[in-house]
Amino acid sequence: MKAFNINRYAKKGPLLATDLPEPILKDKDVLVQVHAASVNQLDSKIRDGEFKLLLPYRFPLILGNDVAGVITRIGAGVRNFKVGDEIYARPNKDRIGTFAEFIAIDEDDIALKPKNLTMEEAASIPLVGLTAWQALVEKADLKKGQNVFIQAGSGGVGTFAIQLAKHLGATVATTTSAENRELVKSLGADVVIDYRKEDFETILHDYDVVLNSQDPKTLEKSLRILKPGGKLISISGPPDPDFATEIGLNPVLKAVLYLLSYSTRKKAKRYGVHYSFLFMKASGNQLTKITSLIESGIIRPVIDKLFPFESTHEAVTYVESGRAKGKVVIQVK
């Protein structure tokens, strides 16, 4: 099968077009013929080696964390899906590789594709949808009437999270550039801050929840806009001890993450708020819940640009530029 992989970690290194064997199925796996895959900042971070201590991948490593496609074979233990099913998924973090013609995925990590979406639209959803769900529903327990600040509202996670937060009944504030103001307003943002001209810390006060996706300076300012008891969930770090325990790191790496997050956790405690790090998990069950929201018209995909499979490297480079509104999708089949 054709695939785009890396042979070593390298900052801004090239994705190599290669021919590799089709994946071998485990008992609970389905083999998916990939129709579309989408690009995430996570792909670049993995290629650059940012997670090499936490996620020890083997080379050659096929990149890609989102997929929509058709099941062509199933393992002997698969019970909930059949050959011919149209599915979408974020594969488990240990089994990425959607920039390829085929991928094997555990059936627990997939869901039937929303009937009202194309393959390209469906491929744009899993990682950002699960990230927003796990941040706002699981960790934040966001309630009707609460105030939530979602950074980078026109990005992949932001465009989904705004819609989800609005559905949950929250008042939503976000940052974006002036040219994307109408986009985020159409998704449900109530307060739109032009990050080039305005400082959100002077505008937002006593917020219940912040979804942080930016740099350490933005994170610290975000801690200060929360009300006492408020929650900041960060998808950009620093990883905390709870995350280390969750993924079963050894004592040395646990100590490293403890030190990396110590300053942030100390500041959060001083402000009387709660800090947590989120590295989203694959979940077919949660994706099925997201499917219901999409088929009901509550959440819609936002796609910036489509790239052909042979231009996968260019698609990743475009996402790295930071110019994308919503998601960038690769058409594989």
35 shares its domain with 86: yes
Do 113 and 200 belong together in one domain? no
Residue 35: inside a domain: yes
Q: How many CB atoms lie within 10 A of CB 116?
A: 13
Q: What is the CATH number of the domain that holds 172?
A: 3.40.50.720
Is the pLDDT reported for residue 323 higher than 90?
no
Q: Which of 166, 226, 168 lies closest to 190, judged by CA?
A: 166
Q: Are residues 78 and 111 in the same domain?
A: yes
Q: How far apart are CA 45 and CA 320, in angstroms?
A: 10
Q: Which pair of structure tokens corresponds to residue 79?
A: 């019970």
Q: Is the pLDDT of residue 274 over 90?
A: yes
Backbone angles phi, psi at 232, to 5 degrees: -115, 120
Tell whether 271 and 153 lie within a shared domain.
Answer: yes
Q: What average pLDDT does range 207-223 have in this prediction?
A: 97
256 shares its domain with 194: yes
pLDDT at site 215 = 94
- Identify the CATH number of the domain in which residue 49 sits: 3.90.180.10
Residue 133 shares a structural domain with residue 60: no
Tokens representing 238? 């620093």
**What is the structure's pLDDT at 56?**
85
Six token digits for residue 185: 């307003």
Confidence at residue 55, expressed as pLDDT on a 0 to 100 scale: 87
| Same-domain pairing of 7 and 137 | no
Q: Is the pLDDT of residue 53 over 90?
A: no
**Can you give the residue range of the structural domain that contains 30?**
2-125+301-331
Domain co-membership, 150 together with 112? no
Domain presence at residue 286: no
Percent of the chain with pLDDT over 90: 96
Checking if the pLDDT of 26 tops 90, the result is: yes
Say what the pLDDT of residue 322 is. Answer: 87
The percentage of residues in the chain with a pLDDT greater than 70, rounded to a whole number, is 100
